[in-house]
Structure formats: structure tokens, C-alpha cells
């Protein structure tokens, strides 16, 4: 059985994962409005990943005989000055997610809840990938600057990204 403290903290993380999905869908909408469907696709895949992450937490609480409670979401930012700003905001957001996962891991360690520590390792590893993806695209966009041809090449590259559901035993 999961402790009430961890149960509540994971419920808050479920909310944040769904908020993350909501935020990335807003970023996709912005990119669509700029006629950048590949960038929009990148954020739509992010949307799917964040929903999947929320459901991993949802299922975990239920596996541990806890109680999932859902909370309302804040409105995400909807307007951006550029596609670079969407990625910079996304990167900053992922850094917050990383800190939140670390805090959950610290809480699990404090409670000596080894099952939750094991469960959270997947998310810790996932955050390394998430931050790296955003950082890489920010570097490319920074090098591109105002080169529209390069921007459209990157847009075409990101259009090929597909959502791949997690295949771990905890998925």
C-alpha cells in the first residue's frame, strides 16, 4: 500500500503531466498557426507522451491500492513570439518536470518506499531524454536564425517524429 503522503504527491504529478500535455498541445496549435506542421507534430507527440506519463502514474497508484484524484488544469500559454520561444519554454518546463520527479524520488527515499523508487527511475531516465531533445532543437533553431530554408528543412525533419508508447514492464 502506498502512503497517503506519496499518494497525494503522485496525484499532484498526474495533474502536472496532464497540464504538460495541455501546454504542448497549445504549442502545437501555435506552430500550426505559423504554417509549421512539422514543429506542430513534434509538440503533438509530446502531448501524447505526457498523457502516457500521466496514465503511468495513474496506474501505479491503483496498483499500490491508492486513490487517484484528478484536479483541474491551469490554462497554458497560448501565444509565442517565435517557434524558438516555444522550444525555450518547453525546455524550461521539462526542467521543472525533472525537479518534480526528483522531489518525488526524494520523498520515496525518505519513506523507504523501494517500489516507488524503482518506479520513478524510469521517469528520471526519461527526463534526461526530454531535456536533451529540447536542448538539441534549441541549438539548431539558434544556428538557423532567419534562414527560412533551414527552418523548413528542420520542420520537415520534425514531421517524421512518431509517438512510440513506452515498452517497459511498468508501462
pLDDT digits (tens, 9 = 90+) for 30-77: 999 999 999 999 999 999 999 999 999 999 999 999 999 999 999 999
| 168 band by pLDDT with thresholds 50, 70 and 90 | low
Helix%, strand%, coil% for the chain, nearest 5: 75, 0, 25
What mean pLDDT is reported for the chain? 96
What is the pTM (predicted TM-score) of this model?
0.94
Domains and CATH numbers, the chain: 4-159 (1.20.1260.10)
CA dihedral sign, ordered 30, 34, 39, 41: positive
Please state the φ and ψ torsions of residue 96, each to the nearest 5 degrees. -65, -45
Q: How far apart are the first and last CA of the chain?
A: 19
Amino acid at each position: 500500500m502506498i502512503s497517503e503522503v506519496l499518494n497525494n504527491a503522485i496525484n499532484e504529478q498526474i495533474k502536472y503531466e496532464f497540464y504538460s500535455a495541455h501546454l504542448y498541445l497549445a504549442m502545437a496549435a501555435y506552430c500550426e498557426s505559423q504554417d509549421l506542421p512539422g514543429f506542430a507534430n513534434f509538440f503533438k507527440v509530446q502531448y501524447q507522451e505526457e498523457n502516457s506519463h500521466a496514465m503511468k502514474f495513474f496506474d501505479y497508484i491503483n496498483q499500490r491500492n491508492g486513490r487517484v484524484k484528478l484536479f483541474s488544469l491551469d490554462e497554458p500559454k497560448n501565444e509565442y513570439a517565435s517557434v524558438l520561444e516555444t522550444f525555450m519554454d518547453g525546455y524550461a518546463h521539462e526542467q521543472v518536470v525533472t525537479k518534480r520527479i526528483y522531489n518525488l524520488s526524494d520523498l520515496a527515499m525518505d519513506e523507504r518506499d523501494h517500489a516507488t523508487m524503482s518506479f520513478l527511475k524510469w521517469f528520471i531516465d526519461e527526463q534526461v531524454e526530454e531535456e536533451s531533445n529540447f536542448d538539441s532543437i534549441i541549438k539548431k533553431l539558434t544556428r538557423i536564425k532567419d534562414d527560412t530554408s533551414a527552418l523548413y528543412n528542420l520542420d520537415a525533419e520534425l514531421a517524421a517524429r512518431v509517438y512510440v508508447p513506452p515498452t517497459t514492464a511498468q508501462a
